[in-house]
Structure 1
Amino acid sequence: MARVTLQTIADRVGVSRMTVSNAFSRPDQLSSQLRATILATAEELGYVGPDPSARALARGTTGAVGVLLTHSMRTAFRDDIATGFFGAVAHELAPTGLAVTLLPSYGSAEVIPARDVPMDGALVYACPEDAPALGWLVRRRLPLVFVDCQDGRRAASVTLDEDGGAAEAAQHLVDLGHRHVGLLTISFDGPHGVVADPHTAGAGFVPRARAEGWLRVLEGTDVRLTAVQVPDNTESDGYDGARTLLTLPDRPTAILCFSDVMAWSAVCAAGDLGLQVPDEVSVVGFDDSPLARRVRPDLTTVRQDLEAKGKAAARTLTEAIGRHRAGNPEVPEDVVLPTSLVVRGSTAPPPAA
């Protein structure tokens, strides 16, 4: 079978090769009727469109953006917050025609996605500054937007008011009358377990910001603090950390948790220890993920707007890509999105002494 080309279609329709090319890449240059005729002829002849690599070379753009993940894709797709954010980004980018490519932070010596995958720019999602894959994106001089993390090179960022949301959660427990509060947070690199000084709890941009918000309210009051760090934001780690807090000789009457996943784990640990939530111990999460509304008791938590975060990240990145193509200097933009406390069934005043 002879190879079908743009010229083959042009000859069949009786137009120029450029007109056929415009039907695929610059539809605004043609009448709707002529474009429909060309596309119908192309389909009849089995032509799927111009070669993407050649089109990218001609345009100077790949038509794709990357999202760099700290962990593996399997881990990311088990996270309601991550998947909600990805969906919001994809929805916002859909009208632009830009495709979204997920980039794991790992790779073989031969294939490193952050180094080798063609893209016009990338979102860096919750990654540490020293992530090797991030180094490749920086060396490629791609437009970058940091989400739930920040960068010392002054690239644009989209973050939450982590501090303000955490402070609101802590104030809620103080107002309820709690005077011994546990902090359950994460530190990927350790140390893990009870932290001698609660002011050192939380490692990484988001964990540290949330811990600072808690402490801003709680320090200087008569509230006692006990902090526990665990390796990761998982149900198993959250469960172990909560058991550590709840089996102390003088256990806290409330726990502020890094996430809803860890808060639900704390509820489960309390139940296994024969403790009622919220009658004997209150639990507060962070994120207001679907999990927070699905479990019983439903979780008091700090809400973040994933749709707004995805929209802001996509908009900031497309604007950065546009400036980059035009040769304009980078104008870093720091977007900080609000959070709000949602009070539900997992918090109550402490049990009477």
Structure 2
Amino acid sequence: MGRVTLQTIADRVGVSRMTVSNAFSRPDQLSPTLRDRILAVADELGYVGPDPAARALARGTTGAVGILLTDSLSQAFSDEVATTFLGAIADELAPTGLGLTLLTTNQAGSVIPARDVAMDGALVYSCDPENTGVEWLLRRKIPLVFIDQNPADGVPAVNVADRAGARAAAQHLVDLGHRRVGIVTSGIRGRHGLIAPEDTGDVIDGFVADQRLTGWLDALTPAGITPVIARQPHGDPDSGYRAASELLKADDPPTAIVCFSDALAQGVMEAAVDAGLTVPEDLSVVGFDDSPAAARMRPPLTTVRQDILAKGHAAAAALTRAIEATRTGEPQAAEHLCLPADLIVRASTAAPRA
């Protein structure tokens, strides 16, 4: 048998080509009995359905949305916060039938995913402020939602109260009596290693990192504390270990360290143990995120909780609303949602030794 087409099935069933097409794309137009008969013949003939590219061209939609990530996809799948967030997005999109396409900023030859991949809309998740992918998506004028980005006029956004959460974390250490405090953070561009607060202008960071640094300083500066910042290119436990190792080698090392993420905090705690210190008696450690790993650490990690599931569901819901508004031509306000960030005190923090 040659190539099986809609007409092949129509001839076998004895209906029109349009009726067969409706069985796949508009099932509500047929009786269940007729549709089942058409699908049974299609299965018998080995027909899998209309060509997706042709169907997308006819409908003017792709059935897919993108999510733009700064980091590599391998890192996204190895980080518990990122995987939880992506899972929440997938759950929210499941009833809509929309597929999720992961986009990186890496370019292979002339291919730029944010410019070249077909999609009905996109989520921009915690991207570098100089990410060219964001610019390409904006230029395409497709529906967008920013997550953990600097909110922009006309673009729906979902953020967390990062500054308030970081302020609460640092204030917790101040209230415990700590006066020598280190900060461990990460960022791809700019300077790495030990950085004084007044030199952070030489560092290019994203919106979230800037917000958290500002929040830490909101509490530390009024207390007369000048922290030392240890900055690494990546945000994994190994990077936290290297950063803490630098901080703890100082002549007057910190008695407490606040971290950009729980993953970095995990590495900080491991470095402290390897240096012969006890957490929290010799070193208090605070993370950010309240990832699944935070409560499993020993001791359990004091951290700032953000609702990762709520963030993913809210972002995906905002995008589906924006796509539907674009399809129907209805105006829609670009809402900026800010989710709370709450300090969760566990056993990794205590007053400094006398």
Range of TM-score over shorter length: over 0.9
Match of 1:5 in 2: 5
**1:58 is aligned with what amino acid?**
A
**C-alpha contact (below 8 Å) 2:153/2:334 kept by paired residues:** no
Give the Cα separation in 1 of the matches to 2:100 and 2:192. Answer: 36
Shift of 1:135: 2.2
Match of 1:282 in 2: 284
**C-alpha contact (below 8 Å) 1:198/1:226 kept by paired residues:** no
**2:279 is aligned with what amino acid?**
V
What's the secondary structure of 1:252's corresponding residue? coil
**C-alpha contact (below 8 Å) 1:124/1:145 kept by paired residues:** yes
What's the secondary structure of 1:34's corresponding residue? helix
**C-alpha contact (below 8 Å) 2:305/2:344 kept by paired residues:** yes
What's the secondary structure of 1:213's corresponding residue? helix
Give the Cα separation in 1 of the matches to 2:16 and 2:145. Answer: 42
Match of 2:197 in 1: 197
Shift of 1:266: 0.6
Greater mean deviation of Cα atoms: 192-201 or 275-284: 192-201
Give the Cα separation in 2 of the matches to 1:117 and 1:156. Answer: 21
Taking structure 1 as reference, are residues 151 and 305 closer, same or farther at Cα in structure 2, changes over 3 Å only?
closer
**C-alpha contact (below 8 Å) 2:196/2:227 kept by paired residues:** no
Match of 1:61 in 2: 61
Q: What pairs with 1:247-258 in structure 2 (closer than 5 Å)?
A: 247-258=249-260
Match of 1:260 in 2: 262
Match of 1:111 in 2: 111
Q: What pairs with 1:15-94 in structure 2 (closer than 5 Å)?
A: 15-94=15-94
Shift of 1:152: 4.2
**Aligned sequence identity (%):** 57
Superposed CA RMSD in Å reads: 1.9
**2:348 is aligned with what amino acid?**
S
**C-alpha contact (below 8 Å) 1:207/1:258 kept by paired residues:** yes
**C-alpha contact (below 8 Å) 1:129/1:151 kept by paired residues:** no
What's the secondary structure of 2:343's corresponding residue? strand
Query: Number of residues paired by the alignment?
Result: 352
Q: What pairs with 1:1-353 in structure 2 (closer than 5 Å)?
A: 1-150=1-150, 152=152, 154-197=154-197, 200=200, 203-329=205-331, 331-352=333-354
Alignment deviations for residues 200-242 of structure 1 (CA, whole Å, 9 cap, x no partner): 4873211111111112122212445332222221223221211
Shift of 1:45: 1.4
Taking structure 1 as reference, are residues 131 and 223 closer, same or farther at Cα in structure 2, changes over 3 Å only?
closer
Shift of 1:7: 2.2
**1:11 is aligned with what amino acid?**
D
Give the Cα separation in 2 of the matches to 1:106 and 1:191. Answer: 22
Alignment deviations for residues 77-131 of structure 1 (CA, whole Å, 9 cap, x no partner): 2222112111111111011000001111112233222221111111111112321
- Structure 2: tracts of 5 or more residues without a match: none
Shift of 1:275: 0.5
What's the secondary structure of 1:100's corresponding residue? strand
**1:132 is aligned with what amino acid?**
T
Give the Cα separation in 1 of the matches to 2:214 and 2:300. Answer: 25
Shift of 1:18: 1.9
Greater mean deviation of Cα atoms: 271-280 or 343-352: 343-352
**C-alpha contact (below 8 Å) 2:265/2:287 kept by paired residues:** yes
Greater mean deviation of Cα atoms: 297-306 or 144-153: 144-153
Give the Cα separation in 2 of the matches to 1:93 and 1:212. Answer: 34
Shift of 1:243: 1.4
Greater mean deviation of Cα atoms: 42-51 or 325-334: 325-334
Give the Cα separation in 2 of the matches to 1:128 and 1:91. Answer: 26
Greater mean deviation of Cα atoms: 1-10 or 265-274: 1-10
**1:304 is aligned with what amino acid?**
Q
Shift of 1:330: 5.8
**C-alpha contact (below 8 Å) 2:197/2:227 kept by paired residues:** no
**C-alpha contact (below 8 Å) 1:114/1:134 kept by paired residues:** yes
Shift of 1:43: 0.9
What is the TM-score with the length of structure 1 in the denominator? 0.94
Give the Cα separation in 2 of the matches to 1:114 and 1:82. Answer: 20
**C-alpha contact (below 8 Å) 2:197/2:226 kept by paired residues:** no
- Structure 1: tracts of 5 or more residues without a match: none
**C-alpha contact (below 8 Å) 1:246/1:252 kept by paired residues:** yes
What's the secondary structure of 2:228's corresponding residue? strand
**C-alpha contact (below 8 Å) 2:115/2:136 kept by paired residues:** yes
**C-alpha contact (below 8 Å) 2:212/2:260 kept by paired residues:** yes
Give the Cα separation in 1 of the matches to 2:198 and 2:288. Answer: 19
Shift of 1:162: 0.6
Give the Cα separation in 1 of the matches to 2:140 and 2:89. Answer: 23
What's the secondary structure of 1:66's corresponding residue? strand
**1:190 is aligned with what amino acid?**
G
